[in-house]
Amino acid sequence: MKTVLITGASRGIGAAIAERFAEGGYHTYITCARDTQSLYALQEKISTTYNTPCTAIPCDVSDYTAVEKMFQNLPPLDVLINNAGISYFGLLSDMSVEDWHKVMDTNLNACFYTAKLAIPAMVRAKSGRILNISSVWGNAGSSLETAYSASKGGLNALTKALAKELAPSNIQVNALAPGLIDTAMNACLSEEDMSALKAEIPADRPGSPKEVADLAWQVVHAPAYMTGQIIAIDGGWL
């Protein structure tokens, strides 16, 4: 049975991806840092609904020591999906150094930690897929979300460079760049702000976590020659 690790899997896009891969017959390993109650609820749902094994491992992926400990309890991975992420909304000049590092540690450094530990087994197997969940703001940049944009831009560059590094070992590395998706991360938006954003999107609506999950499945199972790509899913927005 193939294995997949999904970070930030307690809700939203991460949970939807976990369900999609469980439906596809994978042993899903799911992790999150804080909402462990939802994580274990998802584990139970996957196990009973899809009749496939699911292992929940609470872990703060922004902490390398914690990630090392988690990998001691993981088998070799066929697929790594880096989905964990946090946002920060406000002027850069008002942002604390602590908040800057928190965004970078979660959105970018964590992807280095998990990839570093997953890659050796993939190289030995001459097989593997790494998928990073980025953002349209990693391509375009967003006012008042400078740190978030910088972290996702860094993740895009990491994706492209790592794809070149691992291509000789038959390991594909790609990223998805979602636009406005109906998740808890965007729940802070007022009705007015949401309406204004939807007016900018040709599809005239936010995307759903399931749509991102379906694309994640397709990219992971795409021909091996597709690697190093940043694939937008944004309703034609940007």
- pLDDT value at residue 128: 98
- Mean pLDDT to the nearest integer, 29-33: 98
Contact in structure between 66 and 84 (CB atoms under 8 Å): no
Task: Kindly name the residue from 26, 40, 148, 225 that is annotated as catalytic.
Answer: 148
Share of the chain above pLDDT 70, in %: 99
Give the DSSP H/E element, type plus range, for residue 201.
Answer: none
- Mean pLDDT to the nearest integer, 78-87: 98
- pLDDT value at residue 232: 98
Q: Provide the pLDDT confidence category of residue 221 given band limits of 50, 70 and 90.
A: very high
**pLDDT higher than 90, residue 188:** no
Q: Which backbone phi and psi does 194 adopt, to 5 degrees?
A: -65, -40
148 catalytic residue (yes or no): yes
The b/e string for 208-220 (b: 16+ C-beta within 10 A; e otherwise) is ebebbbebbbebb
- pLDDT value at residue 183: 87
Question: 91-125, pLDDT tens digit by residue?
Answer: 999 999 999 999 999 999 999 999 999 999 999 99
**pLDDT higher than 90, residue 196:** no
- Report the alpha-carbon distance of residue 195 to residue 167 in Å, rounded: 42
- Mean pLDDT to the nearest integer, 71-93: 97
Reported CATH class of domain 3-233: alpha beta
- pLDDT value at residue 206: 94
Q: Which backbone phi and psi does 218 adopt, to 5 degrees?
A: -65, -40
| 3-state SS record for 202-219 | CCCCCECHHHHHHHHHHH
- Report the alpha-carbon distance of residue 112 to residue 90 in Å, rounded: 26
- pLDDT value at residue 118: 98
Q: Provide the pLDDT confidence category of residue 25 given band limits of 50, 70 and 90.
A: very high
- Mean pLDDT to the nearest integer, 39-63: 98
